[in-house]
Structure 1
Amino acid sequence: MPLVTFGELTVDLQRKKIKNLHISVLPPDGRVRVSAPISLSDTAIRMAVVRRLVWIRQQQAQFQAQPRQSEREMCSGETHYLWGRGYRLDVVLVDRTAEVKLNGGWIRMKVPPHYDTVQRETVLNQWYRGILKQRLPKLMAKWQTEMKVEASFVGIKRMKTKWGSCNPQSSRIWINLELVKKPPECLEFIVVHELVHLHERKHNERFIGLMNMYLPNWREHRAKLNKMPLAYNHWGY
């Protein structure tokens, strides 16, 4: 992806077969991505970026202000999150199949002695996935009924730049696994957000109107999500 400099701002420029130009400021460090129609001139792209420069700087400042977790070593004493609450990790070495359980204020992870950091993280993420898979279907059923829409597919995966995604044409929705670490209302906000895209593809006035109708306090949930600690890993795209 080519890097283009506009004054003091460097952006990743993508030219695609699309009708409109899109500017995104991405976590965790506020990198700027510009997706532009193939036919759009460099001058027009530059002017569009300059017009949004104040907004871009505001978004970058928000990312810089967000707390960040330290790099995870998957050892006892670390703090890991579930539904917005921090729990201490307790790693127990056992000669049997790995498992994770919530016990009071602790996340107790039993793993074989030979498991390294990556394997321990995989075990923990599988546990997180199981918890999210239990809660997500109920939320989807509730809001699909309320909004009179139906997703053809709902999946969970770790995404590096989005909390959720929706393809309105195929009605396929993905939810970021990291949401299991955030307060429950943040997950609900993302579910509603993605389902609204089945009514309205763009983030326009109609989209905002639908969000206001279905989830009047969605801005509070979005603000809470934006203030939560970012994952330690270096997000890319």
Structure 2
Amino acid sequence: MPLITIGELTLELQHKGIKNLHINVLPPDGRVRVSAPASLSETAIRMAVARRLPWIRQQQTHFQAQPRQSERQMCSGETHYLWGRGYRLEVIPVEGAHSVKLQGGWIRLRVPAHYDAAKREALLLSWYRQLLRQRLPILIAKWQALLKVTPSFVGIKRMKTLWGSCKTDTARIWINLELVKKPPECLEFIVVHELIHLLERKHNQRFIALMDLHLPNWREHREKLNKMPLAFNRWGY
């Protein structure tokens, strides 16, 4: 992806078949990606970015200050999160079938002794996905009835820069698997946020008014989500 430099700021630039310029500051380190209409000149792009520099710096400072976990080794004693609470991991070698169970303050991971960290992590993620699949349809059913909208598809996947996404032209919604680690109200906030995009595509005053109407304390949930530790990820892509 082409890079351009504005002062001390280096950003990624991609031209797309879009009408408006979009500036995104991405976790975990605050790198900047600009999506611009194909017809927009580099001079115009530079001017637009320059006008947003204070906001860009503010977002980068936020990411740099946000706590984050170290790389997970998937060994006994590590802390892993579920619904906003930290649990200690216990890895138990077994000869039979593998399993993951929540018992007291522990996530007990029973796996064959030859399983390496990657296989242990895959098993834990599968368990996380199962738990989110149990809770997500309940929230979707609740809020699609209240909002009178019907998504064509709701899926779960790991996303590196978004908690959720909504493709309004197809009504397809994706929810980030990482939300299973956050407090339940954070998941509900993202569900409502994405469903309201089926009523209003942009983050404009109408969108905010709809959020205020249906989930008056959404700002508190957003703040809580933003303060939670970021998972360790190999973010380059």
TM range (shorter): over 0.9
Identity, % of aligned positions: 75
CA distance in 2, matches of 1:53, 1:107: 44
Q: Greater shift after overlay, 209-218 or 128-137?
A: 209-218
Letter in 2 for 1:61: T
CA distance in 2, matches of 1:12, 1:209: 33
Letter in 1 for 2:219: R
Question: What displacement does 1:236 show?
Answer: 3.8
Partner residue in 2 for 1:69: 69
SS in 1 for 2:88: strand
Partner residue in 1 for 2:153: 153
CA distance in 1, matches of 2:200, 2:74: 41
Question: What displacement does 1:142 show?
Answer: 0.5
CA distance in 2, matches of 1:157, 1:163: 10
Partner residue in 2 for 1:194: 194
Contact 1:158 1:178 in 2 (8 A): yes
Using structure 2 for the length normalisation, give the TM-score: 0.99
Partner residue in 2 for 1:222: 222
Letter in 1 for 2:76: S
Poorly superposed stretches of 4+, deviation over 6 Å: none
Partner residue in 2 for 1:105: 105
**Equivalences for residues 1-237 of structure 1 within 5 A:** 1-237=1-237
CA distance in 1, matches of 2:56, 2:154: 31
Question: What displacement does 1:233 show?
Answer: 1.0
Question: What displacement does 1:187 show?
Answer: 0.3
Question: What displacement does 1:204 show?
Answer: 1.2
Contact 1:92 1:109 in 2 (8 A): yes
CA distance in 2, matches of 1:69, 1:165: 24
CA distance in 1, matches of 2:187, 2:123: 22
SS in 1 for 2:185: helix
Question: What displacement does 1:234 show?
Answer: 2.6
Contact 1:161 1:236 in 2 (8 A): no
Gaps of 5+ in 2: none
CA distance in 2, matches of 1:203, 1:100: 40
SS in 1 for 2:136: helix
Question: What displacement does 1:199 show?
Answer: 0.7
CA distance in 1, matches of 2:5, 2:98: 49
Contact 1:99 1:109 in 2 (8 A): yes
Letter in 2 for 1:18: I
CA distance in 1, matches of 2:172, 2:158: 16
Gaps of 5+ in 1: none
Question: What displacement does 1:68 show?
Answer: 0.9
Question: What displacement does 1:212 show?
Answer: 1.0
- The two structures, once aligned, show a CA RMSD in angstroms of 0.7
Contact 1:159 1:176 in 2 (8 A): yes
